[in-house]
């Protein structure tokens, strides 16, 4: 199977050996970040640094004139990725024989929420989630669609992978995070991720719901959970907490909002891209799920995009709903973490890849060539040599 390794520009720029090192892993492609959220990243082999702190979500290339006079607009990176960091890294990777695809993070941006708080998801208690732009708001949707097109179609790129192209909710890798004291479960996570901004309240109204009454119902449903009662998993748990009709109406609003954004973003990328440019989404086959792997309807998304990248660390079961669509030529890429210190298992990569293939995976994604230790990378090299 074709394999691609995720990489950041700062893994490559300033390290003359980085591109060749990645190429010798046995991958044919790199998925290189062009727009990325804030992070603190290890660079265990770089000759100039060991830790890179990306202080805010940023584009890793110079933006064009489409953003003049607009709010919101993308933020430039700081000293962690100056100038055209993406372009510099892409050129080095291509020179080593690697195909380059862009890696674009969209509805995940804490600085946007801090500086423009009205753009954020707001929960039933009135708490904003600054890391989570509300994808129902017209201005935010326009921003995300244009960002997708610009960040995806960079010079030299042969395709793109769009991350966080859907609802973001409560779950978030946040500095010094302390929200795990109560086990919310799948149903509780959904209720705590429902948005009650002006746009969403209007949307609930279009589904026959009174937004104020819905917020009160969410708070009432969660009250036993805060006291320690279990939050049943799955959609049945949401229906138990909210009632079937109300739960279905919230999901109808959110599913339609995400679907239309995904359609618009993919269409914008295709309009800006050359022929043959591949467009994939990081995706979860359960449409009400939130996060980096956006919840989607498998049949719908495979009619819109060229395929999906599916989280498979810890099990490849999420591949099945996509593979079952039987869509000829669709990419169903299994995303496997190969950084042992982050819960990955590079030593079992051969077995895991073969298992993913049996469940319908057509390609592999390896997270992450820049973060992994030398021992992890050697295990990857050995596995890919026999796959």
Residue 280, pLDDT score: 98
SS3 category, 33: strand
CA gap 133, 131 in Å, rounded: 7
Q: Alpha helices, DSSP H only, in the chain?
A: 9-12, 18-23, 85-95, 110-115, 138-152, 185-193, 198-206, 211-226, 234-242, 244-272, 298-304, 320-323, 349-358, 374-386
How many residues make up the chain in this entry?
Answer: 387
Contact 80, 36 (CB under 8 A): no
Contact 296, 166 (CB under 8 A): yes
Residue 178, pLDDT score: 75
* 180: confidence class by pLDDT, cuts 50, 70, 90: confident
Q: What number of H helices and E strands is found in the chain?
A: 14, 14
* 161: confidence class by pLDDT, cuts 50, 70, 90: very high
Contact 14, 374 (CB under 8 A): no
Contact residues for 287 (Cβ-Cβ < 8 A; gap 6+): 251, 255, 258, 295, 296, 297
Taking only the tens place, the pLDDT of each residue in 304-317 is: 999 999 999 999 99
**Bigger pLDDT: 173 vs 365:** 365
Domain limits, the chain = 2-120+134-179+259-386
What is the pLDDT averaged over residues 85-106?
98
- 2-120+134-179+259-386: CATH, from 3.40.50.1820, 3.40.50.150, 3.20.20.80, 3.60.90.10: 3.20.20.80
What's the pTM?
Answer: 0.97
Residue 177, pLDDT score: 77
Taking only the tens place, the pLDDT of each residue in 219-270 is: 999 999 999 888 878 999 999 999 999 999 999 999 999 999 999 999 999 9
CA gap 295, 234 in Å, rounded: 13
pLDDT of 356 over the 90 cut = yes
CA gap 155, 174 in Å, rounded: 33
Residue 40, pLDDT score: 95
Contact 77, 86 (CB under 8 A): no
Tokens representing 311 are 């989280």
């Amino acid at each position: 199977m074709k394999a691609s390794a995720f990489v950041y520009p700062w893994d490559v720029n300033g390290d003359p050996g980085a591109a060749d090192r990645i190429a010798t892993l046995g991958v044919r492609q790199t998925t290189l970040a062009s727009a990325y959220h804030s992070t603190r990243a290890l660079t265990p082999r770089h000759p100039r640094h060991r830790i890179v702190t990306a202080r805010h979500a940023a584009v890793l290339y110079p933006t064009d004139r489409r953003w003049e006079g607009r709010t919101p607009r993308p933020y430039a990176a700081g000293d962690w990725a100056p100038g055209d960091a993406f372009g510099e890294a892409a050129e080095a990777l291509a020179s080593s024989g690697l195909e380059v695809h862009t890696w674009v993070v969209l509805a995940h941006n804490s600085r946007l929420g801090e500086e423009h708080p009205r753009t954020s998801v707001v929960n039933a208690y009135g708490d904003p989630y600054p890391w989570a732009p509300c994808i129902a708001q017209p201005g935010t949707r326009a921003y995300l669609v244009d960002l997708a097109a610009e960040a995806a179609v960079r010079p030299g790129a042969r395709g793109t992978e769009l991350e966080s192209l859907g609802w973001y909710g409560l779950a978030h890798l946040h500095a010094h995070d302390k929200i795990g004291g109560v086990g919310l479960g799948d149903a509780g996570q959904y209720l705590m991720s429902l948005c009650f901004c002006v746009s969403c309240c209007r949307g609930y109204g279009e589904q026959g719901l009174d937004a104020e009454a819905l917020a009160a119902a969410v708070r009432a449903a969660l009250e036993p959970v805060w006291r320690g009662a279990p939050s049943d998993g799955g959609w049945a748990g949401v229906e138990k907490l909210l009632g079937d009709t109300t739960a279905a109406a919230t999901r109808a609003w959110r599913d339609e909002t995400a679907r239309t954004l995904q359609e618009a973003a993919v269409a914008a990328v295709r309009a800006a891209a050359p022929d043959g440019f591949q467009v994939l989404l990081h995706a979860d086959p359960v449409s009400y799920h939130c996060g980096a792997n956006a919840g989607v309807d498998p049949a719908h998304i495979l009619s819109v995009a060229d395929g999906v990248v599916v989280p498979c660390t810890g099990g490849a079961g999420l591949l099945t709903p996509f593979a079952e669509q039987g869509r000829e030529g669709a990419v169903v890429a299994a995303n496997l973490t190969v950084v042992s210190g982050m819960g990955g298992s590079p030593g079992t990569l051969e077995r895991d890849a073969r298992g993913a293939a049996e469940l319908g995976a057509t390609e592999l994604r390896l997270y992450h060539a820049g973060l992994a230790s030398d021992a992890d990378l050697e295990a990857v090299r050995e596995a890919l040599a026999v796959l």
